[in-house]
Amino acid sequence: MRIELALFASLEPYLPEGESASGRRTRMIDLPGGITVGEVVARLGLPDQPRVCFIDGRGVREDAVLTDGVRLAIFPPVAGG
């Protein structure tokens, strides 16, 4: 299956090679069906730190399962205002 992956702020350097999707910080990536957010995190080698993950704009935990065509966005802890 194919999903859109977006990595922001300090996670940007972990973006895999490949076709960018809807912006510079996004890629289309191929993944086996049934994979969880946490497994993608491990594959990408993201640092062992808290992070905030979204599937299609909804905050999710790392045991959430990805399905074909979704957008997965991952952020390091950020805040401001």
Partner 1 sequence: MGSLLRVDMACLTVKKEPVPAGWAKYAGRALTDAIIFAEVPPKADPLGPANKLVLAPGLFGGTPAPNGGRLSIGAKSPLTGGIKESNVGGQFAHSAAKAGLAAIIIEGRPADPKALYALDIDAQGNGMLNRVDDLAGLGNYETAEKLHAMKGDDKLVTVTNGPAGEMLMKAAGIAVSDPHGYPNRFAGRGGLGAVMGSKGLKAITIPLGIESLPHADKEAFTAAVRKFANALKEHPVSGQGLPTYGTNVLANIINEAGGYPTRNFSEGRFEGVEKISGETMREITLERGGNVKHGCHTGCVIQCSRYYVHPDGSYWTKGSEYESVWALGADCGIDDMDGIAELDRKCGDLGLDTIEMGNVIAVYMESGKAEFGDVQGALAALEECAKGTETGRILGDGAEATGMAFGVERIPVVKHQAMPAYDPRPIQGIGVTYATSTQGADHTAGYSITANVLGVGGTVDPLKPLGQAELSKNLQIATAMLDSFGLCIFVAFPVLDIPAAFEAIYEMATAHTGDPWDADALMKLGRETIAFERLFNESAGFTAADDRLPAWMLTEKLPPHNSVFTVTDAELDSVHDFVAETAAEMGISKP
Residues making contact with partner 1 (CB under 8 A):
6, 8-10, 12, 23-25, 49-50, 52, 54, 57-59, 73, 75-81
CB atoms within 10 A of CB 23: 8
Closer by beta carbon to partner 1, 34 or else 78: 78
User: Residue 2 or 24: which CB sits closer to partner 1?
Assistant: 24
Q: Find out whether 51 and 75 touch, Cβ atoms under 8 Å.
A: yes
Instruction: Report, in Å, the least distance between residue 2 CB and partner 1.
Output: 19
Closest CB 13 distance from partner 1, rounded Å: 12
Strands 52-55 and 26-30: unpaired
Q: Can you list the alpha helix ranges (DSSP code H) found in the chain?
A: 37-44
Please give the distance of CA 24 from its chain centroid, rounded to a whole number.
14
Whole-angstrom Cα distance, residue 49 to residue 70?
A: 24
Least distance (Å) between residue 52 CB and partner 1: 5
Is the CB of 33 or the CB of 81 nearer to partner 1? 81
